[in-house]
Amino acid sequence: MQVRNINEINISEKRVLIRCDLNVPIKNGVIQSDARILASLPTIELALQKKAKVIVMSHLGRPKNESYEKQYSLFPIFEYLKKKINYTKVYFASDYSKVIPINSGELLILENVRFNPGELKNDNILSKRYSTLCDIFVMDAFGTAHRKQASTYGIGKFVKIACAGPLLISEITMLKKALKNPKRPMVSIIGGSKVSTKFNVLNNLANISDIVIVGGGIANTFLAIDYDVGKSLHEPQFISKAKKLRDNYNNIIVPIDSRVGKNFSESEKSIIKLPSNIKKNEEIMDFGDNTITKVVKIIEKAKTILWNGPVGVFEFPNFRKGTEKIAQAIANNSNFSVAGGGDTLSVIDMFRIKNEISYISTGGGAFLEFIEGKKLPAIDMLEKNFFNNN
């Protein structure tokens, strides 16, 4: 990966536009998790300390029709950053065409890029307009590095200098550490609802991991190869593909027992059952105790751990145990661990194990595509900009 690094460039007095990933959950104007903001903060502060004129852009949620919706405004994030960065002036711009000039060492937060027509389609006119805001563009949003959009990719065609920020470089470095020549045994834990979106990930991980543990709806589709899984979340149309994957590798671990219920409800009581005993009106919502014991023993021996996704409906107390015990086992393992994905971040927050994970990725889709072995569009853009303007 041959790209410019912000640390190698003189940014003093320059207009520096940083594409961050500030896509955080906000409820009634209140930020529910500030993990991604905190991950972006060092890059913003680095640029401020170097006396750059710092402008920050990000997306938030999925507004319809590329137009303003209050629930997706970055204004609450601006207010949060104004309190965090209280040693300089922090401004907010709701209109990209009326961006106020700022002084060196000051910060300007731009409104949600997804309110701008053309953002999602990587529109050239919008990309060029973004480029006029800055002297230097910094791509630091690993969470959107897999998106070919105007603020993550298109802008790179029009700015003279595009470089990678510390967070993006750190993400790539840590994921490579987990995937290239990992210390063994390497254990991968992949949860989530859909196996259809993760076949390439599973195939790649089964190839490089010593053991792959599957949970959630993904595990249910594997169980459906041999058993009737009742009304459990699974994808019947992908059972044969799951069977091929399982038959190709002997290191994919599926649950040997499960916690089941009759209703998808927070108050539903859990019953532990073998997969062969699940009834038509029951659904699997978590690992059973024997599966938990087996999986925890595997994690305890791991030298490299890659974790993406909960293994059950962790939001419901009666179906939380599998995810909780796995999270604790990963936290208790002092070897190298990498965790990523939106729900994974929620689990880490819930069980307060943030400081026990070696590296927490801010990426969801980008995290998975990197694991698949795909080249991320943002990295491609940075490489092209390096070669074209060097």
Whether 365 is a known active-site residue: answer: yes
Contacts of 119 (CB under 8 A, 6+ apart): 59, 66, 113, 126, 149, 150, 151
Of 36, 147, 246, 325, which residue is the catalytic one? 36
End-to-end CA distance of the chain: 15
* Contacting residues for 237 by C-beta, under 8 A, at least 6 apart: 196
Active site residue 259: no
Q: Is 165 a catalytic residue?
A: no
Strands in 107-110's sheet, in edge-to-edge order, are 90-93, 107-110, 53-57, 15-19, 136-139, 161-164
What does residue 338 show for φ and ψ, rounded to 5 degrees?
-125, 130
Q: Which of 157, 365, 374, 384 is catalytic?
A: 365
Nearest to 257 by CA among 219, 225, 221: 219
Q: What is the dihedral of CA 341, 143, 197, 336, to 10 degrees?
A: -50
Angle between helices 321-332 and 342-350 (to 10 degrees): 80
- Residue 257's φ and ψ, nearest 5 degrees, are -155, 160
Bond into 185 cis (ω within 30): yes
Residues 6+ away with beta carbon under 8 Å from 12 = 50, 51, 52, 104
What does each C-alpha distance from 98 to 1, 19, 95 come to in angstroms? Answer: 36, 19, 6
Kindly name the residue from 84, 194, 241, 243 that is annotated as catalytic. Answer: 194
| Single-letter code of the amino acid located at 310 | P
Beta strands (DSSP E) in 274-377 are: 283-287, 304-308, 336-339, 359-360
User: Which one of 288, 340, 342, 363 is the catalytic residue?
Assistant: 342
Type of residue found at 78: F
Are 24 and 34 a contacting pair, CB within 8 Å?
A: yes
Contact predicate 338/306, CB 8 Å: yes
- What amino acid positions are annotated as catalytic residues? 36, 194, 342, 365
